[in-house]
Structure 1
Amino acid sequence: MAIPGNTQIGRFMLLSMAVAAIFNIRNVVNSNIAIGTAAVPCFLLATAVFFIPYVLIIAEFVSLNKDAKSGIYQWIRSSMGDKWAFVGAYCYWFVNLFYFTSVLPNILVYASYAWLGYEVQLTPMVTVLLSIMLFAFATWVSTKGAAWVGRVTSVGSSLVLLLAFGFVTLSLMDWIGGVQPATPVSVATMTPTFNWAFMGAMAWILFAAGGAESVGVFLNDVRGGARTFVRTIIFAGLLIGVLYSVSALVLNLYVPASKLSYTSGVFQVFGALGAHHQVSSLLLNRVVGAVMLLGSFGTLMVWTAAPVKALFSEIPKGIFGERAIALNRHDMPERAAWIQFAVVVPLLVIPALGSGNVNQLLNVVINMTAATALLPPLIIMAAYFHLRLRLDHLPRDFRMGSRRMGLLVSGALLAFSGVAFIAAIFPAGQNLLLTLGYNVGGVVLFLGWAFWKYRQFERSQLTSLALPPTRVPASAGARRSS
């Protein structure tokens, strides 16, 4: 994924891209609800033991495949072959399905605040029905080639970042000015309780610190090469970790963690800050709602189109049918986009059947989003472990230390992320039937289908190789040449 022409990016642009791609104030709210002020050290921990090593792994894969145009598929293929490359690319699309289930209800909440200044209380099923209609619209637009989406996303993400920085700055100034936090800040309150619920919440924090794939691909475009990239991205990781940690620290300045909700937590903390500074809560709610709506809607449009196109254009031809991968006049696999829509609908409906309210619904889908989002990194880490174990002789300009160090780091990452994945798949306190049917069943069904589909492809390839070449009659050749 190189930048066209001779244009190269400097350190500041790379730093800005990393922060914009990874930092999101909503992730702070969700993690704070889950584990309170223990989120403060956990964000720093996730940055140190997950984000920075993971980015360096991506950097090494990019260095190994510097002439390749594709991303995750080629990285995994260079270490573990076509089968696991397909599974990794498929997982990158598959985890996006659960992202839709968490972002669509939130967009409805943002729209309510932007339009009315307060949240309209909806039942889970009404929320799901409206989410389905919204996703149908997003799918339709994505098949028409929406060039303006990039501009909307850029403006929206910039405004969300500006909003978050403003919140953190004002809250810090108030705290320094003498405001006592609603939730006491002490070593005791910030010390995590290492239980199963905590490990499940760590998946949310690892999900918040994710996004390294979108940054690592620019290794070859950074002015100064690999050394500049590594230094900048380590600094970016530390900055993002500090931003997340400081945000989590000041989040409960005016609102206790126990009072926050998944649907309107962002508005609760901004509203309390605005009330302290005598800003109209209705006006502030509408401004925050409009900014969050713009950012989330632009992101929804991009992620509705991009993973579908990437999956169906990157993997070997023949795995999916010609009709499914056929591009329309806007260069989009239209049928594949609507297949994606059809798959997302039951993923929205099933958790709603087991939820009493929208907050319970969001708790289920955020858990599943965070858990499944760890699948592509887990496969990339396994590919890297195999690279350092069996293929360390392959030439590349950048390596994450010695072979032994690479194996130790990737092995530790695999173990830590694997436990967090399992804990998020089996969250504490969730209905067992819902967990087995939705969390476990969803992963088994989707991954099982991927392995079965690739096995079918392998058999078709073997069959085509076994068939004798078709002989063309001489008379037919004579007719064509006449």
Structure 2
Amino acid sequence: MSTTSKTTKKLTLIPLVLMIFTSVYGFNNIPRSFYKMGYAAIPWYILSGITFFVPFALMVAEFGSAFKEEKGGIYSWMEKSIGPRFAFIGTFMWYFSYITWMVNVASGMWVPVSNAIFGKDTTQTWTLFGFQGPQVLGIFGILWILLVTYTSTKGLDKIKKVTSLGGTAVLLLNVFLWIGAIAVFLGNSGSLAEPIVGIKSFTQTPNPKYAGNIIASLAFVVYALFAYGGIEAVGGLVDETENPEKTFPKGILISAAIISVGYSLGILLIGIFTNWADVMGIKDVNLGNASYIVMSNLGYSLGTAFGASEATATALGHGVARFVGLSMFLALSGAFFTLMYSPLKQIIEGTPTKLWPGKVGETKNGLPINAMWIQATIVCVMIALVAFGGSSMATFFNILVSMTNVAMTLPYLFITLAFPYFKKKTEIKKPFIVFKSHGSAIFWTWIVILTVGLANLFSIIQPAIEGDMQTTIWSIAGPIIFSVIAWLMYNSYEKKIK
């Protein structure tokens, strides 16, 4: 009887694919990609799926299966494969990616608030005590970080119920995009707002910043990699899967196909109701508000496609923007209350206690409260430096998004570099093997390293080539500073244990 109940609880192919899909697929990636590249984003999503998503997910699956009893997550994978110093620096880089996420989102989440209240993005006109634009968003971001940290340290975890509410709302946004775009397509008798002119539409971007710039196009791969982020979480699903040797690789391949096609079709659907030059090419559009402008335009286009008056179509656009703003604010708030402590707790509990100086590693009520306040201070300082660095709104959001994309994708290099060493170690029991030969492991390791490494390189140097040194400096400074901090912390730990 117990055997039967255990078997029924195992993941079959379809639930596995759904779990991978919900871990990885992100709505915001679609409008942002259309804003940056138009239809030309699609080939990069497909290429990144083949050269990064599939091989990296299968590597993660092998790691997760071999170290299922370890509490340290990716730290244990790298520590057992290469060594503790490499593992700590790699894990610290992974943790840093959440710091940049907080810097990005704490400043950017006021765009959805503006949409929820006013039906459009008015943040560029906000003023407070003589400050304006990015500075006001920076001040609100700092206040938000302090509020969330204070609330989280009190253990008021009921607020995390916001997560499921926000998640449901964002799921409805995806459904609305698909149904709404198809309705506009039918209402306009099959015509596209952004016409497809042969293969050229998929190889040349309408964005003048990227047109004819091969480095800028290659730099876009980082956006595609970021869109596939979250797959390191699927490593723990191997042992929950029925007949994992066959089901898991199949689930990864099917998920990769669905996610790649989902992103690609989503970008195509936006082109049904959004003309790039008329909607995305205007002055006030930036990476922070692209999603809201696209969805507001969908509401407006639905009205005009079915004969509504200009006033009704505009009101419909504002109504959709309000729904999108509220949905995104709820989703981001829920994510904040979880990510304020979850990555920090994982890195502290997964690494040796003596690595953390003073009372940093102490926990109270299961939360690393001292570390959370140090984290809040670092995030607030970074927000202030970026916000008061004298940027326009578009540059401000470019810096934040570039920082986050680079920081989120660099840890994949550390995990991938550890994979051949993991394969070589015969003493590690490997219950789940996809890469049967050492040669195939090395080949796919290099494919992933080249994809992630070159994408980040181009992403970092591209702004500098265009004269935007500020974005390049911020993209590079964070990972270097945090690598040095990790190195110094590990040296101090070695002296302690000696």
Question: TM-score if structure 2 supplies the norm length?
Answer: 0.86
Question: AA paired with 1:357?
Answer: S
Equivalent residue for 1:396, pick from 426, 430, 437: 430
Secondary structure, counterpart of 2:79 in structure 1: helix
After superposition, the C-alpha distances for 1:102-150 in whole angstroms (9 at most, x for unaligned) are 2123311111111222222331111100111111111112212243344
- Contact 2:112–2:328 (8 Å) recurs in 1: yes
Measured after TM superposition, the shift of residue 277 of structure 1 is 2.3
Question: AA paired with 1:200?
Answer: A
- Contact 1:226–1:397 (8 Å) recurs in 2: no
Q: Counterparts of 2:203 and 2:425 in 1: how far apart (Å)? A: 41
- Contact 2:399–2:474 (8 Å) recurs in 1: no
Secondary structure, counterpart of 2:382 in structure 1: helix
- 1:291 partnered with 2:327: yes
Measured after TM superposition, the shift of residue 57 of structure 1 is 0.4
Show the counterpart of 1:458. 494
Cα 1:145/1:431, change in 2 over 3 Å: farther
Cα 1:365/1:87, change in 2 over 3 Å: same
- 1:172 partnered with 2:182: yes
Secondary structure, counterpart of 2:353 in structure 1: coil
- Contact 1:392–1:403 (8 Å) recurs in 2: no
Q: Counterparts of 1:387 and 1:452 in 2: how far apart (Å)? A: 26
Measured after TM superposition, the shift of residue 364 of structure 1 is 0.9
Measured after TM superposition, the shift of residue 222 of structure 1 is 1.9
Identical columns (%): 24
Secondary structure, counterpart of 2:271 in structure 1: coil
Equivalent residue for 2:152, pick from 134, 142, 160: 142
Bigger mean CA deviation after superposition, 35-44 or 269-278:
269-278
Show the counterpart of 1:476. none
Map 1:67-466 → 2, pairs under 5 A: 67-120=69-122, 121=124, 122=126, 123-175=133-185, 178-185=189-196, 186-191=198-203, 195-258=214-277, 259-260=279-280, 261=285, 262-278=287-303, 280-328=316-364, 330-388=365-423, 390-391=424-425, 394-401=428-435, 402-428=437-463, 431=467, 433-435=469-471, 437-462=473-498
* Root-mean-square deviation over aligned CA pairs: 2.1
Q: Counterparts of 2:180 and 2:468 in 1: how far apart (Å)? A: 43
Question: AA paired with 2:56?
Answer: Y
Measured after TM superposition, the shift of residue 52 of structure 1 is 1.2
Measured after TM superposition, the shift of residue 179 of structure 1 is 4.0
- Contact 1:47–1:241 (8 Å) recurs in 2: yes
Question: AA paired with 1:265?
Answer: A
Cα 1:167/1:241, change in 2 over 3 Å: same
Bigger mean CA deviation after superposition, 435-444 or 332-341:
435-444
Cα 1:438/1:276, change in 2 over 3 Å: closer
- Runs of 4+ more than 4 Å apart: 429-433
Q: Counterparts of 1:151 and 1:19 in 2: how far apart (Å)? A: 22
Q: Counterparts of 1:204 and 1:117 in 2: how far apart (Å)? A: 27
Q: Counterparts of 1:190 and 1:436 in 2: how far apart (Å)? A: 27
Cα 1:275/1:432, change in 2 over 3 Å: closer
Secondary structure, counterpart of 1:199 in structure 2: helix
> Which 5+ residue runs of structure 2 have no aligned equivalent?
127-132, 205-211, 304-312
Cα 1:77/1:451, change in 2 over 3 Å: same
- Contact 2:31–2:290 (8 Å) recurs in 1: yes
Measured after TM superposition, the shift of residue 316 of structure 1 is 0.5
Cα 1:70/1:158, change in 2 over 3 Å: farther
- Contact 1:275–1:281 (8 Å) recurs in 2: yes
After superposition, the C-alpha distances for 1:211-239 in whole angstroms (9 at most, x for unaligned) are 10112221111233342222112211111
Q: Counterparts of 1:182 and 1:31 in 2: how far apart (Å)? A: 17
Cα 1:112/1:436, change in 2 over 3 Å: closer
After superposition, the C-alpha distances for 1:168-192 in whole angstroms (9 at most, x for unaligned) are 2331353366343232223102116
Measured after TM superposition, the shift of residue 400 of structure 1 is 2.6
- Contact 1:8–1:221 (8 Å) recurs in 2: yes
Q: Counterparts of 1:226 and 1:341 in 2: how far apart (Å)? A: 43
- Contact 1:24–1:161 (8 Å) recurs in 2: no
Q: Counterparts of 1:219 and 1:148 in 2: how far apart (Å)? A: 31
Q: Counterparts of 1:297 and 1:381 in 2: how far apart (Å)? A: 32
Question: AA paired with 2:195?
Answer: P
- Contact 1:37–1:248 (8 Å) recurs in 2: yes
Bigger mean CA deviation after superposition, 356-365 or 200-209:
356-365
Q: Counterparts of 1:392 and 1:253 in 2: how far apart (Å)? A: 54
> Which 5+ residue runs of structure 1 have no aligned equivalent?
463-482
Measured after TM superposition, the shift of residue 355 of structure 1 is 4.7
- Contact 1:351–1:434 (8 Å) recurs in 2: no
Question: AA paired with 1:267?
Answer: Y
Matched residue count: 456
Secondary structure, counterpart of 1:240 in structure 2: helix
